[in-house]
Amino acid sequence: MKVVKQQDIKLDSSFAEEIAKRSGENVFLCYQCKKCASGCPSRMFMDSTPTQLMRYAQLGMVDEAMKKNTIWYCVSCQTCSTRCPADIDIAHVIDTMRIIGQEKKLKADDNKLPLFNRLWMTMIRFMGRAYEPGLVGSLNFLSGKPTKDMALGMKMIKKGKLKLFPSFKKPFAMMKMFSRAKKLRK
Amino acid sequence: MKLAYYPGCSLHSTGIEYDISTKRVCEKLGIELVEIKDWICCGSTPAHQRDDLMSIALPAKNLAQVRETGDMKEVCAPCASCYSRLKFAQQRLADDALRKDVEMIIDAKYPGDLIVYHMLDVITEKFGVEAVAQRTTRSLNGLKVACYYGCLMTRPPKVTGKGQFENPTQMESLIQALGGVGVDWNMKTFCCGAAFALTKTDVVLELTRKILADAESVGADVISVGCPLCHANLDGRQTQINAKFNTKFNIPIFYFTQLMGLALGIEPKDLGLHKHITEVGDFLKERALT
């Protein structure tokens, strides 16, 4: 266990306030019961537990929360949010931290998840619907593993489980939707 | 019974057999599915991990499209992820300020009076398990089925409105009506790692291994699922899991609609059963289910 010295802790609630402003979730309600950590299927891959993450948010320990791999290993399974006795939507808190991390372009463990999210949203913006071969191809290429899952992909094509060509659903309307959302956020 | 049908992206690609079998089964039961006109992606996990506003706007646009499609008050989604995003959007859009913003983005009025169902709810709650049982022409013959719900079909209960979210049993009652047996097991609502399939595959292999191992340890013949992402992981990753963990899994993974189809006397090829990565042809012959 890592011991944090008192002089290294800067008590600052601005991080918790930002989370509350964006998500409506109050991290100060957490009393560290560890139910979220116990139920988390992805816990074994994380640098710290969801319970610790909530503590970091309470204490304003932004680096501990945002620069470890923890938030990038949340599988969005909703188990923590379902079981939290303080009724905090923890998965939503983590999503909010991820959004802040992506906006500030913080280095996120291997950066593959932000890349995937960006590619996915770009795909939807121009095509309206998912186009898996294009997504997998560009993800693998950009993350330097061009042959990942190739055997499985070939099998799926043979079985007719992958569309060879994308379908475009009202691309102009989609692009307009995204730009209206962008304007609204400003 | 007439419902608006939102297949979602996966059902037009990796989960195509779910789309095929759902349509065939509903046709057989007399449930009319009307596909939502010009539906778009619900945003799925990438949207709520990256862009909070669009993660609500995309499902809202699809719900608004229901009005364009016809006079329907009920929507059903077979994909657990689509279902979850539609339900999340409905919950969040109770907020007036957000609804105004979203209506501006989607350039349409958001219909607040729709009811969203997962396909399993349509079958077990609206249509009724008894009514399905009356229409079966073939029994699953005591097939031991591990019913796998995954995450989003039941969780979070505040959004899905499900009373049984830690130990749901609706799929078991359906399997029983088809002549099968729902086995008692631990992993029915455990996560398969769905959203990480392409980014953190190691997580998926580990979580999926746990699910397969538990099903095998309780003696299940097959696993039944209601989500294309769960299916892609459980069905498609068995070879990779066997290679990585030195296991010998060869467990057939069915959509619950495919098991229903078999019991309703529909031919396996009309249920897309030949499209599985873990082959089920021999298994079906062995169990006299073809």
Map out the domains of chain B with their CATH numbers. 2-118 (1.20.1050.140), 138-286 (3.40.50.11810)
Q: Distance between CA atoms of B81 and A120, rounded to whole angstroms?
A: 15
CA of B133 vs chain A CAs: smallest distance (Å): 31
Domain of A18, CATH number, reads: 1.10.1060.10
Q: Does B156 touch chain A (CB under 8 A)?
A: yes
Domain check: are A98 and A123 in the same one?
Answer: no
Mean pLDDT within A176-183: 94
Give the end of a domain, one of A56, A75, A103: A103
Domain check: are A120 and A159 in the same one?
Answer: yes
Domain check: are A117 and A99 in the same one?
Answer: no
Cβ distance of B53 and A181 shorter than 8 Å? yes
Beta bridge partners of B271: none
B87 within 8 A of B118, measured Cβ to Cβ: no
Reported as a single tens digit per residue, the pLDDT across A100-154 is 999 988 877 778 899 999 999 999 999 999 999 999 999 999 989 988 888 899 9
Q: How confident is the model at residue A33 (pLDDT cuts 50, 70, 90)?
A: very high
Residue of B nearest to A135 (CA): B198
The answer on pLDDT for A1 being more than 90 is: no
> Which range marks the domain in which residue A85 is found?
11-103
CA angle B191, A63, B52 (to 5 degrees): 50
Give the end of a domain, one of A76, A103, A130: A103
Domain check: are A29 and A90 in the same one?
Answer: yes
Q: In this structure, is residue A2 part of a structural domain?
A: no
Q: Backbone phi, then psi, for B120, in 5-degree steps?
A: -65, -35
Q: Which two tokens stand for residue B45?
A: 């996990």
Q: What pLDDT is stored for residue B75 in this prediction?
A: 97
Q: In this structure, is residue A33 part of a structural domain?
A: yes
- SS3 at position A164: coil
Q: In this structure, is residue A5 part of a structural domain?
A: no
Reported as a single tens digit per residue, the pLDDT across B125-164 is 999 999 999 999 999 999 999 999 999 999 999 999 999 9
Q: In this structure, is residue A1 part of a structural domain?
A: no
Q: Which residues of B touch A170 (CB under 8 A)?
A: 38, 40
Domains in chain A: how many in total? 2
Contacts of the segment A157-165: beta carbons below 8 A, 24+ positions apart: A157/A133, A159/B274, A159/B275, A159/B276, A159/B277, A160/B16, A160/B275, A161/B13, A161/B14, A161/B15, A161/B16, A161/B275, A162/A132, A162/A133, A162/B13, A162/B14, A163/A131, A163/A132, A163/A133, A163/B12, A163/B13, A164/A133
Cβ distance of B199 and A163 shorter than 8 Å? no
Q: What pLDDT is stored for residue A171 in this prediction?
A: 86
Beta-strand runs (E) in chain B: 2-5, 32-35, 74-77, 115-118, 144-147, 181-182, 222-225, 253-255
Residues 49-68 of B with CB under 8 A from A: 49-54, 57-58, 61
Specify burial of residue B38 (Cβ count, 10 A radius: 0-12, 13-18, 19+).
middle
Nearest to A121 among B13, B47, B152 (CB): B47
| Interface pTM, i.e. ipTM | 0.93
Residues 85-144 of A with CB under 8 A from B: 89, 91, 95-96, 98-99, 102, 112-118, 120-121, 124, 128-130, 132, 135-136, 139
Q: How confident is the model at residue A18 (pLDDT cuts 50, 70, 90)?
A: very high
Q: What pLDDT is stored for residue B280 in this prediction?
A: 95
Q: In this structure, is residue A79 part of a structural domain?
A: yes
The answer on pLDDT for B195 being more than 90 is: no
Q: In this structure, is residue A4 part of a structural domain?
A: no
Cβ distance of B199 and A139 shorter than 8 Å? yes
Q: Does B213 touch chain A (CB under 8 A)?
A: no
The answer on pLDDT for B290 being more than 90 is: no
Domain check: are A67 and A138 in the same one?
Answer: no
CA of B28 vs chain A CAs: smallest distance (Å): 24
Q: What pLDDT is stored for residue B263 in this prediction?
A: 97
B264 within 8 A of B14, measured Cβ to Cβ: no
Q: What percent of chain B has pLDDT over 90?
A: 98
Cβ distance of B200 and A113 shorter than 8 Å? yes
The answer on pLDDT for B198 being more than 80 is: yes
CA of B42 vs chain A CAs: smallest distance (Å): 9
- Residue B172's H or E segment, with its range, is helix B170-177
Domain check: are A96 and A126 in the same one?
Answer: no
Q: Distance between CA atoms of B91 and B96, rounded to whole angstroms?
A: 11
Which of A118, A120, A162, A185 to substitute to test the interface with B, most B CBs within 10 Å?
A: A120
Domain check: are A24 and A52 in the same one?
Answer: yes
Reported as a single tens digit per residue, the pLDDT across A89-100 is 999 999 999 999
